[in-house]
Structure 1
């Protein structure tokens, strides 16, 4: 198709390499070539492990109404005056134990960047330079707002926004989408935006999970007696108010069990990272692994299907706190199965989801 034909089909198209609209006056601001964007979004990361960096990050995270939905007049004084006077020290210590010192950043940031690079390579191979791929964080940097604006400046008039949470939850998927739409509310020219739905039952995602389990079991000195699928928890009230997260986690575990061809007793579902006084969905991972040890289970494995990338909740909480709970209760061997991270089969699953969601755009 010639440039003239393209202009007739898409009026106002920028001339290739010119930065100028086809029929624009000489003083019209430059307009970049039209592109489609794919923006991967994850939870977030502090910029460093010192007190003030941790405080800024935690304040942003814990001030999110999707995360803690108590009235501000009640929650903010407690958060700012009490919780954030102490918690940054504890959280900073946890992050220091897993920090990527070579690149001076959290593992979540390193892994998300690696995932983005591989997704970009896969899309470039299939679609050429028509697609711009980038990543952002809901909390911390790079911020959702800054990356969306950068992508628009690169010519992305259509953007696929992909929260990297297999199971939908209000405090994860919903708040990531909220932040993207907040940016759109401030733009004079809004790009068209699509959001990727939960992929908790996508066959390629389940297949990658199953592969990671098989590989870990094959490499273990002995076969674990139980696999614990540990998901980040949410208040039970969320479930009763219609959040589908708990049900989607249960289905992911069932599908994983079926893909592995295992019996019901070989895999259990549990939930971690309880915060605050109210009742959360359970059982709690830290307590359940101790109970497995007391029942005589000597070797267990833990996998984290809700996390697309290893982070403080997996590398520190599971591989240290939860492991210690199991061993102190009489367990002998603990196998942590890493998140899918930038495994080739995981990237293939993400690419499959992205190509499907880009239908009609590319």
Structure 2
């Protein structure tokens, strides 16, 4: 959950519903950063890649950055990223020195969440790290910020600073285990809705219509 993304999307939904006189019942999914199926799919994605390509000297988990003041104001995003990273590392059996958690996509002059992804990769290259693998757990589908910013720009930064091998591990995309986890998340949040008797709903609608007509509404 991040106010700049999740909350802004909800703002847009409710803004669109402002014009409605008959607003539907709504339920939103706040987050799934520690959902067991999501973590398991991430771990299997990494393990599948390592089975074919071997393991790196360091795994970098890069999350989208947000301004530092969001954390100071109580936004849970930073904490949720940290928990996702910790759970993923546990699933992979990694020791603390085998992985790093960083934040990407910074722009503007304000301080953003640290450490920054590109600066971290440059430092790893300067320190003689031979191979790094980078995964972006916060992105469930590949996009410009993973395929260009990470797989191209950050690769170039790492290599230019002395690194030898840079691998970008693709996002979950359409992996079946992730789609199953996504379905589980959706189904869990579809439970517990108030069930109303259709006959009673129809009767209430007819009464409402009768009153409206009596007050002068067009039939």
TM over 0.5: yes
Higher relative contact order (CA closer than 8 Å, sequence separation 6+): 2
1:189 Cα deviation from its structure 2 partner: 1.9
Consecutive unaligned residues in structure 2, runs of 5 or more = 196-219
Counterparts of 1:222-301 in structure 2 under 5 Å? 222-301=54-133
Distance 2:87 2:139 in 1: 17
Distance 1:250 1:300 in 2: 20
Match of 1:173 in 2: 6
Match of 1:356 in 2: 188
Counterparts of 1:173-252 in structure 2 under 5 Å? 173-220=6-53, 222-252=54-84
Output the TM-score relative to the length of structure 1: 0.53
Output the TM-score relative to the length of structure 2: 0.86
Consecutive unaligned residues in structure 1, runs of 5 or more = 1-167
Counterparts of 1:60-139 in structure 2 under 5 Å? none
Distance 1:223 1:294 in 2: 20
Match of 1:343 in 2: 175
How many residue pairs get matched? 194
- SS in structure 2 of the partner of residue 192 of structure 1: coil
- SS in structure 1 of the partner of residue 16 of structure 2: helix
- SS in structure 2 of the partner of residue 237 of structure 1: helix
Match of 2:210 in 1: none
Match of 1:314 in 2: 146
1:188 Cα deviation from its structure 2 partner: 2.3
1:266 Cα deviation from its structure 2 partner: 1.2
1:295 Cα deviation from its structure 2 partner: 1.4
Match of 1:96 in 2: none
1:267 Cα deviation from its structure 2 partner: 1.2
Deviations 1:248-300 (A, max 9, x none): 10111000011111111111100001011011111110010111111111110
Distance 1:290 1:339 in 2: 22
- SS in structure 1 of the partner of residue 79 of structure 2: helix
1:191 Cα deviation from its structure 2 partner: 1.4
Distance 2:15 2:52 in 1: 46
Find runs of 4+ consecutive structure 1 residues off by over 3 angstroms: none
**What's the RMSD between the two structures over aligned residues?**
1.1
Distance 1:223 1:230 in 2: 17
Match of 2:202 in 1: none
